[in-house]
Amino acid sequence: MSRGLFLTLEGGDGSGKTTQAELLQEWLLREGRSVVRTREPGGTDVGLEVRELVLHHRGDIAPRAEALLYAADRAHHVATLVRPALARGEVVIQDRYIDSSVAYQGAGRVLDPGEVRRVSEWATEGLQPDLTVLLDLDEQAARARLDAARTRYDRLEAEASEFHARVRAAYLEIAAAEPERFLVVDAALPAAEIAEQIRDRVRPLL
Q: Summarize pLDDT for 74-100 with one digit per residue, the tens.
A: 999 999 999 999 999 999 999 999 999
3 state SS for the chain: CCCCEEEEEEECCCCCHHHHHHHHHHHHHHCCCCEEEEECCCCCHHHHHHHHHHHHCCCCCCHHHHHHHHHHHHHHHHHHHHHHHHHCCCEEEEECCHHHHHHHHHHHCCCCHHHHHHHHHHHCCCCCCCEEEEEECCHHHHHHHHHHHCCCCCCCCCCCHHHHHHHHHHHHHHHHHCCCCEEEEECCCCHHHHHHHHHHHHHHHC
Model confidence over 24-52: pLDDT tens digits?
Answer: 999 999 999 999 999 999 999 999 999 88
CA-based radius of gyration for the chain: 16
Model pTM?
A: 0.92
Whether residue 150 has pLDDT greater than 90: no
* Residue 70 belongs to domain spanning: 5-205
Considering its fold, how many domains does the chain have in total? Answer: 1
Judge contact between 92 and 124, C-beta under 8 A.
no
Residues 3-24, mean pLDDT to the nearest whole number: 95
* Main-chain dihedrals φ then ψ at residue 123, nearest 5 degrees: -60, -35
CATH of the domain at 68: 3.40.50.300
Tell me if 106 sits within 8 A of 116, measured CB to CB.
yes
